[in-house]
Structure 1
Amino acid sequence: MDSGGGRARAVVGVSGSPGSLAALHRAVREARRTDAELLAVLAWEPPGGELAHGRAMFTPSVADFRRAAADRLLTVLDAAFGEAGPGVPFQGLVVRGTAGRALVETADRPDDLLVVGAGPRGPLRGLFPSVTRYCVTHAACPVLTVPPSPLEGELASLHRRNSLRLTVDARELTEGGA
């Protein structure tokens, strides 16, 4: 998995969402399996997007936004791996731009492996641009999409029921509802 540009790479999009954490852990397994370097990429844009930022009179500096994104990446990596790290050579990258474009531009070698979470399923999935779809359509390398964990759907359902103040039977929280 080496294109002559150095060590093979497993590039993964990281945002802190459950889907991105699942993708991060899968990317570590792929990096370990193929002796590749892990690149954990967190994409960021100024609040409101580039156009709004350019038109605003008083906004924090771009350096402040970048620093906040770097802090978020460190927090996500620490939550995922602790002080021990992922157990493979890795870099954390903070890239200014939309997530899909940042990932595709980072995973620019034919022998890279781009790992992304498959994103949410359900009624809200069409409301937001799909990073996964963008990566699959535009990447110059293989793309591995990691489906959401079944537990994620169950937790979302429980959260909805809880926010609507519906009764939750503790037996539903155990395996098989028994």
Structure 2
Amino acid sequence: MREARGIEQEGRTVRGRVVAGTCGSLGSLTALHRARAEARARDAELWVVLAWQPPLGEPGGRGRGGGTPLLAASRAAAVSRLREVLATAFGEGTPGVALAGLAVRGTPGAALLDTVRDADDLLVVGTGSRGPLLRALRPSVARYCLAHAPCPVLAVPPSPLQADLDAVRRRIVWRRPLDSADLAR
């Protein structure tokens, strides 16, 4: 991967990489757009990483079989999801920077840190909105990356619209009436 440094692309020299993690959530799309802006400002490549793990953990490890076909199907699903995320984020056009999409097998934090190679790289992660229950069930990828990354990490908070969307969803779940004045802010 180091040979990709300093390559000529469309008449300019591309230096460094901006690595961004994504899962397709609104928070990760916000981080992805920020990563694109950072890649443009730095004349860097944008590497978008989607981490995946096979269902049921490691195939064959629990006596369930499945092996290679299950792994191939899981990887194909991850690659398809990554393509959907990139199409959602950037549309059918180009993002305006050199782009590489990677579907990496592993946990999100480890997959991102495996992709980052140099201290020159920039790692961009979304912080997401995390309530106490979610914090207890799933560790924070952003926190893991901030603690272990060998390069600078940019932690992007969720869009302010995300909080409004979450509030509307909670009202719908709890069957509380929506106040149109709250939506018009």
Whether TM exceeds 0.5 here: the answer is yes
SS at 1:124's partner residue? helix
* Matching residue of 2:12: none
1:95 matched to 2:104: yes
2:121 & 2:60 partners in 1: Cα distance? 33
1:154 & 1:53 partners in 2: Cα distance? 44
* Matching residue of 1:135: 145
2:57 aligns with one of 46, 49, 52:
49
Per-residue displacement from partner, 1:112-167 (whole Å, max 9, x unpaired)?
00000012233334221110111011110000000111211111111011111111
1:130 & 1:53 partners in 2: Cα distance? 28
Q: Percent identity?
A: 54
2:19 aligns with one of 11, 18, 29:
11
Q: Is the 8 A contact 1:46 1:53 kept in 2?
A: no
* Matching residue of 2:32: 24
1:48 & 1:61 partners in 2: Cα distance? 10
TM-score of the aligned structures, taking structure 2 as reference length: 0.87
Q: Is the 8 A contact 2:54 2:70 kept in 1?
A: no
Q: Is the 8 A contact 1:108 1:139 kept in 2?
A: no
2:63 & 2:96 partners in 1: Cα distance? 43
Q: Report the number of matched residues.
A: 172
* Matching residue of 1:105: 114
Q: CA RMSD in A?
A: 1.7
Farther-moved stretch of structure 1 (57-66 vs 125-134): 57-66
Q: Is the 8 A contact 1:78 1:85 kept in 2?
A: no
2:124 & 2:50 partners in 1: Cα distance? 13
1:30 & 1:169 partners in 2: Cα distance? 38
* Matching residue of 1:63: 72
Q: Is the 8 A contact 1:31 1:37 kept in 2?
A: yes
Residue identity matched to 2:128: G
TM superposition shift of 1:80 = 0.8
2:60 & 2:88 partners in 1: Cα distance? 30
C-alpha change, 1:167 and 1:13, in structure 2 (3 Å) is same
2:3 & 2:71 partners in 1: Cα distance? 35
TM-score of the aligned structures, taking structure 1 as reference length: 0.90
C-alpha change, 1:169 and 1:143, in structure 2 (3 Å) is same
Gaps of 5+ in 2: 6-14
* Matching residue of 2:180: 170
1:37 matched to 2:45: yes
2:27 & 2:117 partners in 1: Cα distance? 23
SS at 1:145's partner residue? strand
TM superposition shift of 1:5 = 6.4
Q: Is the 8 A contact 1:47 1:53 kept in 2?
A: no
